A and B are shown apart, each in its own frame.
Chain A
Amino acid sequence: MNLEKVFFAFFIVLALTLNFGFFLGDLDDPNHHNVYELYAALVVSLIATIMKFGDRAHIGAVLLATSLVADLQLIAAVVVWTLSVHASDVGLTPMIMASIVSLSGGALLANVTSVIILVTETVMFRR
């Protein structure tokens, strides 16, 4: 067992599960989407990205790319949230909430891709 591989897989899967947890619920209902969960999803996603730094294999490059996509989507969601609450008087309207959640939904897709690649690589690597 390789400890590095454990950490690697742990963060990638955790990024997906946290992301999924935030995404779950009515699209435009602020009560169904916890800000802490979004925060945790972003932090874990950033760590997962850095874990993938420096892998020169092709599959490593694809993993890094999907992770960067997830980061981008989550950061966009966080920025929308911050702007709506702090920088304007709009507040968390159902419309704003819907766009935040759908942005995190995009990140969810990217994270699903990451996990699929991870699983594929693991299955191919019979040792």
Chain B
Amino acid sequence: MHNLLYLLLRRMRLPLIVIILAYAISILGLVLIPGMDDQGNPWRMSFFHAFYFVSFMGSTIGFGEIPYPFTDPQRVWTTVAMYLTVISWLYAIGSLFSLLQDPAFRRMVAFTAFTRVINQLREPFYLICGMGDAGHLVIRELAAHNIRSVIIDRDENKIQSLRLEELPTPVPGICADVTDTSKLRAAGLLKPECQGVIALTGNDHTNMTVAIISKLLVPELPVICRSETHDSEANIASFGTDYIINPFDAFASRFAMMFQSPSMYLVYEWMTSMHEAPLSEFAAPPRGTWVLCGYGRFGKAVREALSFKGIQTVIIEADIARTGAPEGVIEGRGTEAFTLYEAGIEQAVGIIAGTDNDANNLSIIMTAMELNEDLFTVGRQNLSTNDTLFAAAGIDIIMQTGRLTGRRVVDLITTPLLGNFLRMARDQTEDWANVLVSRVVGVLTDRPPESWVITISTEQTPAVVELLNGGASISLGDLLKDPRDHTAPLPCIAVFIKQADNNEVLLPGDDMPLQIGDQLLLCGQPSAETHMRWSARSLHALDYINLGYDAPSGSLWRWIDAHTHRGT
């Protein structure tokens, strides 16, 4: 604020001096030049009259020649004074407007407003650096979960477009270099309300710088960092970054899981699915030889994961020397039929278009489909703006880097329990996953399941805590009942519980007693979450579930109730 004022005063110095001089000269002239009163006696304007006259003349209001009609010498001087004052006003107002329009000044105004908003922010928030596809998705999803975030991006247009978006909670944003420590501090890095830093720019080195800055200034603050090469991943991990997300590795391991255990893959997909995404149909990819176009970071990760599962890949790569492709690689882009023939597309079961160019990827898949229409297609989509094109191409699996990264970040923030669950689930058999999938499908309609976490605590489940403190015992099954009809279960299942003593149980049974501090991971229809939170909050609803009827709350009715139900 002070900086703005100083800048304004400094820039307005000359225009203001010009106005004062113009007024001073005009007033002095009018006072010195002899005039005449209405009786024809010589008369001179006093300073007061001159100031009054110049004030309304200079502002072009013009009340006329006051108090007596002017003599010719006075009129000559007034003519001069008119031009003098009007021009000086125009000059001053012009300078003021050009200052207000000045990009540097506007940046400063925006920055001042931003710091004020951040200083007044009293809710927990996440600091997001970089607003690419991933950053954008994280902002929208966090806003949908009622979690505040603050964004820094180098691109002014992206920050502007954020203001036009209708988000449930306002997201303050600033256009700045994310590696500038002072800007990170202005964005609230040091504030106690800051819950974590998320570095999602497209540049590994920038992300690493952000992680270093935040780990140096606030060591205990969690940092989530995107990294696309193993090199920088190791570097970022070396100074204690909490979560590193490599979208290529993440996709490759999921993709490989599809071959080994389709049900397990489905469990993973569901638990990490996005807010209100449509229920996608799932087709397991066939085993056999796959053609992999592009041996960059994506191609390498996929090939490694697939060969781990014993699946052959034939690589097509345009720049063999740079990518260091192994023996047997076929040189070419893959967009031409002859390269695909050379790779044996007719015998292959699937094709993966994994170059960093969307047009090439689409071309590869369309060409390949013409040669062999039974192919299972996997396409890498680099830009979110190509959504409609990739959807129209009928690709079986689309890997969108930004969306994948963004989803991972959202999961880490909104359902931290998910990581524990997925780690335990990975060790289970395919049969176990099959059972889980059929149970989840049993409670679903046409929408994909939502997952949510409930912690048994005074904030989230005051009714449960009150009953537990009163010595009552409440089991998991009670919470899973519909508060409107106690005989019906809610359309959801408890997939994981982390008990207060850090004991973790997969698929806990209905009879498991709840304790204060338990964290439950549930999965099912979104409406179930609303009902469950209601019964966990309302003592009446919980009583109804427990007793099977609406318990009276007044003392008289309670007395009657105790007598009528005695013995039943």
Contact = CB atoms under 8 A, between A and B. Distances in A.
B557 to A, nearest CB: 73
Interface string B1-38: 00000110111110011001100100110010000000
Given A35-B47, A82-B48, A86-B46, A54 B20 contact: no
B300 to A, nearest CB: 55
A43 B20 contact: yes
A53 interface: yes
A39 B28 contact: yes
A5 interface: no
Contact-residue bracket for chain B: 10 to 19
Contacts, number: 41
Given A53-B12, A54-B13, A47 B46 contact: no
Contacts of A82: 47-48
Interface string A19-54: 000000000000000011001000100110011011
A69 to B, nearest CB: 18
A58 interface: no
B1 to A, nearest CB: 13
Contact of A47 (B7, B10, B11, B21): B21
A50 B24 contact: no
A46 B31 CA distance: 20
Interface in A84-113: 85-86
A56 B2 CA distance: 9
A10 B7 CA distance: 24
A82 B49 CA distance: 10
Given A43-B20, A43-B24, A56-B6, A50 B13 contact: yes
A54 B6 CA distance: 5
Interface size class of A (residues with CB under 8 A): 10 to 19
Interface in B32-57: 46-49
A102 to B, nearest CB: 20
Interface in B179-213: none
Interface string B132-155: 000000000000000000000000
Given A35-B47, A39-B47, A53 B9 contact: yes
A21 B232 CA distance: 75
Contacts of A56: 6
Nearest to A39: B47
Given A39-B47, A85-B48, A46 B12 contact: no
B7 A51 contact: no
B15 to A, nearest CB: 9
Contacts of A43: 20-21, 24
B48 A54 contact: no
A47 B21 CA distance: 8
User: What 4 pairs between A and B have smallest CB-CB spacing?
Assistant: A54-B10, A53-B9, A43-B24, A54-B9
29 contacts: A36-B31, A39-B27, A39-B28, A39-B31, A39-B47, A43-B20, A43-B21, A43-B24, A47-B17, A47-B20, A47-B21, A50-B13, A50-B17, A50-B20, A51-B13, A51-B17, A53-B9, A53-B10, A53-B12, A53-B13, A54-B6, A54-B9, A54-B10, A54-B13, A56-B6, A82-B47, A86-B46, A86-B48, A86-B49
